[in-house]
Amino acid sequence: MVDYSSKLFLGFDLSTQQLKIIVTDEDLKPLKTYNVEFDSQYKSKYGIHKGVKANEEDGEVISPVLMWLDAIDYLFTQMKQDDFPFDKVVGISGSGQQHGSIYWSHEAESLLNNLKPNQDLSKQLTNAFSWEYSPNWQDHSTNSEASDFHNAVGKENLAKITGSRAHLRFTGLQIRKFATRSHKSEYEKTSRISIVSSFVTSILLGKIANLEESDACGMNLYNISKSSYNEDLLALAAGVNSKIDKVDKSDPIYEKSIDEVRQKLGDITPITYESSGEISNYFVERYKFNKNCKIYSFTGDNLATILSLPLQPNDCLVSLGTSTTVLLITKNYEPSSQYHLFKHPTMPEHYMGMLCYCNGSLAREKARDEINKKYKLDQKSWDKFNELLDSQKAFDNKLGIYFPLGEIIPHAPAQTIRAILKDGEIEKCKIGDEFKIEDDACAIVESQTLSCRLRAGPMLSKSGDANKEESTDEINEAYNKLIDTFGQLKTDGKDQTKDSLIARPNRCYYVGGASNNLSIINKMGSIFGPINGNYKVEIPNACALGGAYKASWSYKCEEEKKFIPYDDYIKKLFDTNDELKDLKCEDKWIEYFKGVGMLAKMEETLMEVD
Ligand code: ADP
Ligand code: XUL
């Protein structure tokens, strides 16, 4: 029997393929999870496959919005059948897939306000949308809009303003496509635009909620440093940009269109612990929620993920799934067109950096397969690969660029380059006597880790306590040697500084499929060299859990009428989560300065795209 005696919190996760709700108690303990997979329930009703409708011809990938409403009623009904004590829930928050936009009709507000508890949400809200779909993050139908955004303000400058260069899935590009190309008349009929996170907040509140600030950073519209919309970008979304659409700023249509899009998007609420309001009467009457149950703004799924762990400034969460994603917390706003920065959802003056690599596990699997082939071993076994990783005593001056697929960071087409460092010179080479196929095992894990280290450095530098207590002499010596050998280092066109090269993470956490391989994560940990340890964790419901924790932290702050630093609040997880044990990796951070220089120089020779 689940112990529901405490006050309860709910964390939602509305992702591409399912809706999940997790129940937690006051001690951050997960008590129960409910989920509904869209394909298993709604395949025929909504004509979806893997949660979406995809059109291969134009790259459009969309999700039916009414399906999400059905999923909410479905899960609450399941919980009701389980006699779930809805009246004990004091706070709800959660996460949504990032970037997706929802287009509300002019009737939406009044329909939301007058929901009848005896009818399903989807039935009553059919007319609440000017378009009944939401572009999914996998959508790639906005190439022309991406060029427009870059041509309007410049790629690097767009990243500087909004935290990211133009990405096909980002909301601003999607709105431009909607307003100027695909759905002009629906755009006219749109009263408000939500993103997935604020959409769920709105449904639970029974009124259209403002955009949540950290998730709003995934739109390519918001000026992060100024905490306000960027007018040139709003003009692009509305199709009246002076440079691209040739609409003169003095033309009345310009101001009218900017006002309209601003109104549709609405205000962006700065990061806060304050609730957005109480749960709508619909849920109180239909499911017997307590009418005082607070709704706290939902956020994006990656942003919620970092809330699920006791992360502190300069911590890195390394997700080793099919692709590699690194999420890190920083005080530095150091944007780059190669990665993303968002405001942190609960820590004011902090940001979440997000590095997304395409070539992660699959590239490692390819190297493993070649080695196994040579030794006539079972293709799927990691034993030989791991033995090679474990037996390496020191960095042996061999690295590689292993991109079987075109890469995002650095933006480059598919290619493989192997090289050896000899007397300070980098020599490219092929598999042979000097660089054996076995060397790929260490070289790929080292190169992938060094690439993250190069990009994380500028974000971590001076952001927290980013140096270990080794003697300054030791660091200076390693740094001077690095510069003597390689000269000024650049990453993605920007100079690295001494501070960025000597910045260490605070802690590193590893999740995802390949984190089950201790040889891989030990090697990675020894290169990252975090000050306070490497941790392997399992967080199967991370986004939902992060949502529930956001609700419980917000509730606590409201109860105590003061801001409690999120990292202080969440650190009690160290006492309750037995998984949080230091991996005790060997620290080879200084030794890998050489690798840092070598990879940076090798990257300068990559074939470019764009
Ligand atoms: P997804 O990102 O699709 O959710 P997972 O997090 O399950 O995927 O990660 C899948 C990947 O993890 C696989 O491609 C596989 O190469 C890798 N993986 C799983 N177990 C191991 C292991 N023991 N050693 C190395 N890699 C592994
Ligand atoms: C992030 C992104 C994806 C979605 C997945 O930029 O597009 O991670 O958030 O749900």
| pLDDT, average across residues 157-171 | 98
CATH 3.30.420.40 spans which residues of the chain?
8-301
Residue 610 scores a pLDDT above 70? no
Q: What is the pLDDT of residue 379?
A: 86
Chain centroid, CA 308 distance in Å: 13
Return the pLDDT at 540.
Answer: 83
Instruction: Please write the tens of the pLDDT for every residue from 478-504.
Output: 999 999 999 999 999 899 999 999 999
Q: What is the pLDDT of residues 427-459, one digit of tens each?
A: 999 999 999 999 999 999 999 999 999 999 999
- Does residue 580 surpass a pLDDT of 80? no
Read off the tokens for 114: 């007058």
Give 449 Cα–ligand 2 centroid separation in angstroms.
22
The DSSP code sequence of 437-491 is TTHHHHHHHHHHHHHHHHHHHHHHTTTSS-S-SS-HHHHHHHHHHHHHHH-S-EE
Does residue 607 carry a pLDDT above 80? no
Which ligand places an atom closest to the C-alpha of 215?
2
Q: What is the mean pLDDT of residues 549-571?
A: 97
Protein residue with its CA nearest to atom 21 in ligand 1: 514
Distance 363 CA to ligand 1 centre (A): 11
Q: 160's torsion region: left (phi>0), alpha (psi -120 to 50) or beta? A: alpha
Reported confidence tier of residue 472, pLDDT bands at 50, 70, 90: confident
Instruction: Check pLDDT > 90 for residue 282.
Output: yes
What pLDDT shows up at residue 466?
53
| CA 98 to ligand 2: nearest atom | 9
Q: What is the 3-state secondary structure (H, E, C) of 6-31?
A: CCEEEEEEECCCEEEEEEECCCCCEE
CA-to-CA dists, residue 283 to 83, 114, 206, 278, 289, angstroms: 15, 12, 9, 11, 6
pLDDT at residue 470 tops 80: no
Q: Which residues line ligand 2 (CB under 6 A)?
A: 15-16, 97-99, 137, 169, 218, 300-302
Average pLDDT rounded to a whole number, residues 540-559? 96
What per-residue confidence (pLDDT) applies to 469? Answer: 60
Q: Please, which pLDDT band fits residue 158 given cuts at 50, 70 and 90?
A: very high
Pocket of ligand 1 (CB under 6 A): 321-322, 361-362, 365, 382, 512-514, 516-517, 520
Share of the chain above pLDDT 70, in %: 98
Q: Does domain 8-301 have CATH number 3.30.420.40?
A: yes
pLDDT at residue 538, as a whole number: 87
Candidate from 15, 98, 325 with most ligand 2 atoms within 8 A of CB, to mutate = 98
Asked if residue 513 has pLDDT above 80, the reply is yes
| Alpha helices by DSSP H, 311-438 | 361-374, 383-391
The pLDDT, as a whole number, for residue 461 is: 84
Which residue type does 436 have? K
Q: How far is the CA of 147 from the centre of ligand 2 (A)?
A: 21
Tokens of 145: 């809009």
Give the Cα separation of 237 and 229 in Å (integer): 11
Calculate how far, in angstroms, residue 436's C-alpha sits from the geometric centre of ligand 1.
25
CA 484 to chain centre: 37
Residue with tokens 């939301």: 112
Q: What is the pLDDT of residue 348?
A: 96
Q: Is the dihedral of CA 601, 603, 609, 610 positive or negative?
A: negative
Predicted local distance difference test score (pLDDT) of residue 464: 64
Distance CA 292, CA 159 (A): 41
Q: What is the mean pLDDT of residues 26-35?
A: 96
pLDDT classification of 268: cutoffs 50, 70, 90:
very high
pLDDT at 125 over 80: yes
Q: Which ligand is nearest to the CA of 538?
A: 1
Residue 582 banded pLDDT, cuts 50, 70, 90: confident
Contacts of 386 (CB under 8 A, 6+ apart): 517, 519, 520
Q: Which atom of ligand 2 is nearest to the CA of 16?
A: 10
Average pLDDT, the chain: 95
Please name the helix (run of DSSP H) or strand (run of DSSP E) that holds residue 171, with its range, or none.
Answer: helix 171-177
- Cα torsion 525, 530, 533, 536: sign: negative
* DSSP β-bridge partners for residue 356: 325
